[in-house]
Amino acid sequence: MNTASRSSSTVPQRAEEYERWLRGSSLSAFGFRWMMGPGQWAVNLPLYRLPKNLKLDASTRLLDIGCGRGNVLRTLDDQLGSDVPPVGLDVSRAMLEQAQRDEGNPRRYAGFVQGSATALPFQDGSFNLVLCGHLVKHFDDVDTLGLFTEIRRVLSPGGLGVIWEFGPTGDRRLDAWNARVVATGVKQPRLRSQRTLKRLATDAGFEFVRDADLRPFLLPPIPRSSILVGRPPEGYSARP
């Protein structure tokens, strides 16, 4: 099977399973919806330090891939007072409907778009900051490479991307347990190291790839792998 057909068959199937689980009434689905809303302060606490760490300002054009209920997106927008309202993309209609209900400030509308992370519905160079958290565990390497390629495409020259996901500990038994913990609503989650994520980002064409070192994450107490990627500014050359 070629990579194109493999990618096109796995992503919609996982999206359908994810949507069905999110709309369910199980305790795990309820807990996840809470974590994507009020619980975001614990799940993604390091993200709230990004404006200072990356020296962001009002000129930031932000895309949050896998935005869920949009809490990270809105918090960063409140911190930055962005000139251009940020955009959140999620494959789940259920999450986006909740994000719309959570939107409480009519003066600062954050756009929410339903779509695939491996085929982003945006023009080249549309954003100078792209976030993508807790998403790549759903994807095989082919789809992860497609995601990174799309992030690079929509980044403008000089733009940065921050990608993070549950990562391995190096202990086989603990990793097996952690995989079971995060497997709710996700079939066969993939816990990749930062080294693996950096390799896939390099394969996708990123010239700048670094450890993001996002920590600490309070909930759940499972390690994260996080990388910072970027496109060089126009006219930049690594050669002296």
What are the sequence ranges of the domains in the chain?
3-230
SS3 readout for 8-66 = HHHHHHHHHHHHHHHCCCCHHHHHHHHHCCCCHHHHCHHHHHHHHHCCCCCCCCEEEEC
pLDDT in tens, 93-151: 888 888 888 876 554 556 899 999 999 999 999 999 999 998 999 899 999 999 999 99
Number of neighbours of residue 2 by Cβ within 10 angstroms: 7
- The 3-state DSSP class for residue 157 equals strand
Q: Indicate the pTM of the whole model.
A: 0.82
By DSSP bridging, strand 87-90 and strand 62-65 are parallel
Distance CA 76, CA 79 (A): 5
Nearest Cα residue to 208 out of 235, 234, 228, 226: 228
pLDDT in tens, 174-212: 988 888 777 766 678 899 999 999 999 999 999 999 999
According to CATH, the superfamily of the domain at 3-230 is: Vaccinia Virus protein VP39 (3.40.50.150)
